[in-house]
Structure 1
Amino acid sequence: MKSIYILIITLFSLTICIGQDKITFDIKEVFLQKKDFKKRKSDFIKKGGNFYEDKDYIVSKSCSGEWGGSIFFKNKKSGIEYSCSATCPVSVNLIDGKYIVTNSLAHLRGSSDIIEIKNPELMSVFKMPEPREIKNGIKHYYTGDTESKSRKGVKEIWNGFGILTLISFEFKEQLYHIISKDAKTFLATIVESELKIINQISKERIWDYAPETFKDEKGNLIVFFNNHSTSGYIEIIGNEIKVTRTK
């Protein structure tokens, strides 16, 4: 049997508040059988296994599902690690000197939020809590005990229920989000703390319990997804968003 190959292209323009520029995203959706996927998650390995890294910090994350999550900023010079509550981190973007962290939790109807961290060193210094008990020299914790409970030094930009976020990415100094809601998937942005839907990406709700973003050899973004309805990946190459998935 030959592979099914269908290509759907949607074009639209979005005027953003940077001068009079118009940004047009080219959205493509390709349906393939899984065996015909050209890219696989196993082909991508993050350098050092870090969630995010720049010249100042090594950033890592943890997630205990509905019991909480955390993001950690470790200062490369001092070795001190700062943290805050984040359930659960999917993307970090540095915009105008501020770290913008996108969180999403695939529990019940789903939820997402975006937080702003101006200075990681204004957050709480992370300290492991006391264990519930110690048996045979092994410390025992309940799920979520080791997650940060602090929001010190953090500003919440937006939050929404019934919404799952797969990835947040910067393009032309503007932050965009690929989100799923109402059984569909959309490209969106945040305007004055409100979610603004720009255009539909797919008629299917594309999401993952633990989405992870990678960069290819050219620096283009790719995020893989797998759920009970569909699986595949989304490539972001400049202003092109290409969805490759099973039907």
Structure 2
Amino acid sequence: MKIFSTLSLLFILLNSCKKQPSVFKIEIKDANKNIVDELKQIHNFDQPGFLYGDQKYEVWKSCSGEWGGTVYFKNKQTQVIHYAIASCPVSVNKIDGKYYVSNSSNHMIGNSDILEITDPEKMEITKSIPVYHPDIITREYEAKSRLGTKRIIDSSQVIIATSFVYNKKLYSILTNIQGTKTTVSELQNHKFKTIAELPEKLFYSEPIIIKESENHQKLYFQNPKSGILEIKNNILKLTFYNK
């Protein structure tokens, strides 16, 4: 009887230690393409600073480098613009009616944070959204208030390339400030938990993000290698361009 109980316990322990299936399917391949030719085909560059849109809001950004940035929520019905400090926005996602603004700055040691915004109407009001241009840096127009926002995570030496939602959970593509490690990480209890790893040295500079839909986006990168990371639901397709 004791032997049977021991064997049963061992069987349970072995099964509990089995590797859990990955949340994401990651595909990596090479393509005989030129990133410049690919970027010429994109027609979404006519709205610099536009981050996200739903039935009620247009969400825009501005960024002044080391002096921080701002996220703007423009009410489509009233045309009223609400804004708050966000340094510097890279993506906006929505879960159960709440907005999550992912921010990143590579200044100094690098820093990333995510803001939760339950009701944009509680943010301060501004008269206009300045034209965003990454090469024009000024603190003149940036917000000075955090009203209506809640910072739910703040990490140093980590850069968020983008964030996305799958099964009502928020995930981020993270890279360390040295660019030597890239991960898919889930936001859990105000911390980033690594779910999967991508090839190292993937992003040395900010990728160009094209959001096709709520659950589909493409990241075009050019340094140190060139290619595209496509995220659709739980499938990540990474293609390196050889030309």
Q: Structure 2 length as normaliser, TM-score?
A: 0.78
Alignment partners' CA distance in 2, 1:198 and 1:23: 8
> What's the CA shift string for 1:94-142, capped at 9, x where partnerless?
11110100011122332111000000010011257xxxxxxxxxxxx98
Q: C-alpha distance in 2, partners of 1:119/1:41?
A: 36
Of residues 150, 153, 158, the one that matches 1:155 is: 150
Displacement, 1:232?
Answer: 1.8
1:209–1:107: structure 2 CA closer, same or farther, 3 Å change rule? farther
3-state SS of 2:24 partner:
strand
* Greater gyration radius: 2
Aligned residues: 214
Question: How has the CA–CA distance of structure 1 residues 245 and 98 changed in structure 2, closer, same or farther, with 3 Å as cutoff?
Answer: same
In structure 1, the partner of 2:174 is 179
8 Å contact 1:166–1:208 — kept in the other structure? no
CA distance in 1, matches of 2:161, 2:154: 15
Shift of 1:69: 0.7
Q: Who is 1:82 aligned against?
A: 82
Q: 1:25 maps to what in 2?
A: 24
Alpha-carbon distance change, 126 to 205 in structure 1, aligned in 2, over 3 angstroms: same
Aligned to 2:40, the other structure's residue is in SS state helix
Matched, 1:212 2:209: yes
Structure with bigger strand share is 1
Aligned partners of 1:170 and 1:176 also within 8 Å: yes
Specify the alignment match of 1:59 in structure 2: 59
- TM-score, normalised relative to structure 1: 0.76
Q: Which of the residues 167, 171, 183 maps onto 2:162?
A: 167
- The verdict on how the C-alpha distance between 1:159 and 1:213 changes in structure 2, with shifts beyond 3 A counting, is farther
Residue 41 of structure 2 is matched in structure 1 by 43
User: Which residue does 1:132 correspond to in 2?
Assistant: none
| Structure 2 unaligned spans of 5+ | 1-18, 129-135
Shift of 1:32: 4.5
- The AA in structure 2 aligned to 1:223 is L
- In percent, how many aligned pairs have the same letter? 34
Could you tell me how far apart the structure 2 residues matched to 1:142 and 1:175 are? 30
Q: Residues 232 and 106 of structure 1: is their aligned pair in 2 closer, same or farther, counting only changes over 3 Å?
A: farther
The root-mean-square deviation of aligned C-alpha atoms, in Å, is: 2.9
Structure 1 runs not aligned, ≥5 long: 1-12, 15-21, 129-140
